[in-house]
Structure 1
């Protein structure tokens, strides 16, 4: 890996992850922003996502994660009736260099925040015109 002026995430143990980090590092013109998410920064991010205040805060975090790390997140309500958080889908789109565990931890943190503040879910449903 070429030397960088910023800390990058250490690689996962061989066979433990399918993040394609090596392919990303060796690809010309690759977007390496996701490697800026070190384990310490990931902990801070997850803590921040667990403590969202409202839907506007969630949307802000979505845009910041895309701008700074290239991480795309989609949040959708089920087409059927939403009675619990199981009716809300939080998807972190796959991308080279993004660890499998991180892709699982981000939606879990967002859902934990939604559990603590149901008004986020109501606002999300209102936004989609699904909750009248």
Structure 2
């Protein structure tokens, strides 16, 4: 199948379970995720690491969903949050989303939160965990 846009190259056999081939075989499938080439993934990761506010993070979540179909959920842990590791960052399962990309997105967001703790505090405050402190 020839797509009207450049698509991600296939992963080595056995290295990934993304289901890229099934996505290409089904003409009715949502192929937006295949637009995320390796170069575009690097740009996305760099952009996620350089965010400066919670508003920018929320905007990136919306843009990733609109352009690629990627759904990212960021919530504080139900347990005590002492570090950035206490914030849950989940990327929803999606056919065509590479395993490495699914791990790289939360890692980039965590690096951003570690570099700019104000964003982490804003996430906690948005979920009323700071109690208006």
TM-score, normalised with respect to structure 2: 0.96
Residues in 2 aligned to 1:44 and 1:99: alpha-carbon distance in whole angstroms: 16
1:10 maps onto 2:9 in alignment: yes
Residues in 1 aligned to 2:80 and 2:39: alpha-carbon distance in whole angstroms: 38
Report the number of matched residues. 131
The answer for the alignment partner of 2:63 in structure 1 is 64
Residues in 2 aligned to 1:25 and 1:6: alpha-carbon distance in whole angstroms: 13
Q: Structure 1 stretches (4+) deviating beyond 4 angstroms?
A: none
Residues in 1 aligned to 2:108 and 2:32: alpha-carbon distance in whole angstroms: 21
Match of 1:25, SS?
A: helix
- TM-superposition CA deviations, 1:55-90 (whole Å, max 9, x none): 000000000000000000011101122111121011
- TM-superposition CA deviations, 1:73-109 (whole Å, max 9, x none): 0111011221111210111111000000000000000
Aligned residues: CA RMSD: 0.7
Match of 1:74, SS?
A: strand
- 1:1-132 mapped onto 2 (5 Å cutoff): 2-132=1-131
Residues in 2 aligned to 1:36 and 1:117: alpha-carbon distance in whole angstroms: 29
Deviation at 1:26, TM superposition (A): 1.1
Residues in 2 aligned to 1:131 and 1:21: alpha-carbon distance in whole angstroms: 42
- TM-superposition CA deviations, 1:17-73 (whole Å, max 9, x none): 010111111123100000000000000000000011110000000000000000000
Which consecutive residues of structure 1, in runs of 5 or more, have no partner in the other structure?
Answer: none
Which consecutive residues of structure 2, in runs of 5 or more, have no partner in the other structure?
Answer: none
Residues in 2 aligned to 1:7 and 1:31: alpha-carbon distance in whole angstroms: 15
